[in-house]
Amino acid sequence: DAGITQSPRHKVTETGTPVTLRCHQTENHRYMYWYRQDPGHGLRLIHYSYGVKDTDKGEVSDGYSVSRSKTEDFLLTLESATSSQTSVYFCAISRGTGFTDTQYFGPGTRLTVL
Protein backbone atom coordinates (compact mmCIF):
# COMPACT_ATOMS: atom_id res chain seq x y z
CA ASP A 1 0.00 0.00 0.00
CA ALA A 2 1.61 3.24 -1.18
CA GLY A 3 -0.62 5.47 0.95
CA ILE A 4 -2.26 7.23 -2.00
CA THR A 5 -5.89 8.26 -2.13
CA GLN A 6 -7.77 9.92 -4.94
CA SER A 7 -10.99 11.86 -4.77
CA PRO A 8 -13.56 11.70 -6.10
CA ARG A 9 -13.44 8.07 -7.23
CA HIS A 10 -16.22 8.60 -9.76
CA LYS A 11 -17.54 11.77 -11.32
CA VAL A 12 -20.00 12.59 -14.06
CA THR A 13 -20.00 16.16 -15.30
CA GLU A 14 -21.13 18.19 -18.25
CA THR A 15 -19.11 19.70 -21.05
CA GLY A 16 -17.77 23.14 -20.18
CA THR A 17 -17.76 22.73 -16.42
CA PRO A 18 -14.57 22.92 -14.35
CA VAL A 19 -13.42 19.77 -12.60
CA THR A 20 -10.73 19.26 -9.97
CA LEU A 21 -9.34 15.88 -9.04
CA ARG A 22 -7.33 15.43 -5.87
CA CYS A 23 -4.44 13.12 -5.12
CA HIS A 24 -3.33 12.78 -1.52
CA GLN A 25 -0.29 10.91 -0.22
CA THR A 26 0.62 10.16 3.36
CA GLU A 27 4.32 9.35 2.97
CA ASN A 28 5.86 12.73 2.07
CA HIS A 29 7.27 11.69 -1.32
CA ARG A 30 8.73 14.35 -3.54
CA TYR A 31 7.53 13.14 -6.96
CA MET A 32 3.88 12.94 -7.92
CA TYR A 33 2.29 12.26 -11.30
CA TRP A 34 -1.06 12.42 -13.07
CA TYR A 35 -1.87 9.95 -15.85
CA ARG A 36 -4.90 9.21 -17.94
CA GLN A 37 -5.67 5.75 -19.28
CA ASP A 38 -7.73 5.13 -22.39
CA PRO A 39 -8.31 2.01 -24.48
CA GLY A 40 -5.69 1.68 -27.18
CA HIS A 41 -3.47 4.35 -25.66
CA GLY A 42 -2.42 2.92 -22.36
CA LEU A 43 -1.20 5.18 -19.58
CA ARG A 44 -0.20 8.66 -20.68
CA LEU A 45 1.46 11.27 -18.50
CA ILE A 46 -0.45 14.54 -18.12
CA HIS A 47 1.63 16.51 -15.62
CA TYR A 48 4.05 15.76 -12.86
CA SER A 49 5.53 17.48 -9.83
CA TYR A 50 9.00 17.26 -8.34
CA GLY A 51 8.28 19.38 -5.28
CA VAL A 52 5.96 21.97 -3.80
CA LYS A 53 5.10 24.48 -6.52
CA ASP A 54 7.40 22.63 -8.98
CA THR A 55 5.48 21.07 -11.85
CA ASP A 56 6.08 20.19 -15.47
CA LYS A 57 4.11 19.02 -18.47
CA GLY A 58 3.78 15.50 -19.71
CA GLU A 59 2.74 14.01 -23.01
CA VAL A 60 -0.93 15.09 -22.98
CA SER A 61 -1.07 18.30 -20.94
CA ASP A 62 -3.35 20.42 -23.16
CA GLY A 63 -6.59 21.27 -21.36
CA TYR A 64 -5.19 20.39 -17.94
CA SER A 65 -3.50 22.36 -15.17
CA VAL A 66 -2.02 21.22 -11.88
CA SER A 67 -1.11 22.69 -8.54
CA ARG A 68 0.89 21.50 -5.59
CA SER A 69 0.84 23.83 -2.61
CA LYS A 70 1.58 21.09 -0.06
CA THR A 71 3.80 18.02 -0.33
CA GLU A 72 0.90 15.67 0.27
CA ASP A 73 -1.59 17.05 -2.25
CA PHE A 74 -1.44 17.22 -6.05
CA LEU A 75 -4.48 18.66 -7.79
CA LEU A 76 -5.45 18.17 -11.43
CA THR A 77 -7.87 20.70 -12.91
CA LEU A 78 -9.83 20.54 -16.12
CA GLU A 79 -10.70 24.20 -16.64
CA SER A 80 -13.52 23.46 -19.07
CA ALA A 81 -14.18 19.76 -19.41
CA THR A 82 -14.69 18.22 -22.86
CA SER A 83 -15.98 14.80 -23.86
CA SER A 84 -12.47 13.83 -25.01
CA GLN A 85 -11.39 14.09 -21.37
CA THR A 86 -13.64 11.20 -20.40
CA SER A 87 -11.10 8.77 -19.03
CA VAL A 88 -9.71 7.04 -15.98
CA TYR A 89 -7.23 9.24 -14.15
CA PHE A 90 -4.48 7.76 -12.03
CA CYS A 91 -2.19 9.54 -9.63
CA ALA A 92 1.22 8.06 -8.89
CA ILE A 93 4.14 8.71 -6.60
CA SER A 94 7.74 7.62 -6.72
CA ARG A 95 9.56 6.89 -3.52
CA GLY A 96 13.05 7.61 -4.71
CA THR A 97 14.99 10.62 -5.75
CA GLY A 98 14.19 10.89 -9.41
CA PHE A 99 14.01 9.55 -12.81
CA THR A 100 14.66 5.84 -12.54
CA ASP A 101 12.43 5.02 -9.63
CA THR A 102 9.45 2.77 -9.35
CA GLN A 103 6.10 4.51 -9.43
CA TYR A 104 3.13 3.45 -7.31
CA PHE A 105 -0.41 4.23 -8.33
CA GLY A 106 -3.51 5.42 -6.56
CA PRO A 107 -6.89 3.71 -7.05
CA GLY A 108 -7.97 6.00 -9.90
CA THR A 109 -10.81 8.39 -10.67
CA ARG A 110 -13.32 7.49 -13.34
CA LEU A 111 -14.46 10.70 -15.05
CA THR A 112 -17.30 10.93 -17.53
CA VAL A 113 -17.91 14.19 -19.40
CA LEU A 114 -21.32 14.32 -21.05
**Residues interacting with another protein, by CB under 8 A?**
33, 40-45, 48, 56, 58-59, 90, 98-108
Nearer to another protein, 59 or 79 (CB): 59
Closest contact distance (angstroms) between CB of 86 and another protein is 15
Helix, strand or coil for residue 83? helix
Closest contact distance (angstroms) between CB of 44 and another protein is 8
63 CA to centre of own chain: 13
Nearer to another protein, 5 or 17 (CB): 5
3-state secondary structure 21-40: EEEEECCCCCEEEEEEEECC
Closest contact distance (angstroms) between CB of 18 and another protein is 25
Number of helices (H), then strands (E), in the chain = 0, 11
80 close to 17: Cβ distance less than 8 angstroms: yes
Nearer to another protein, 64 or 90 (CB): 90
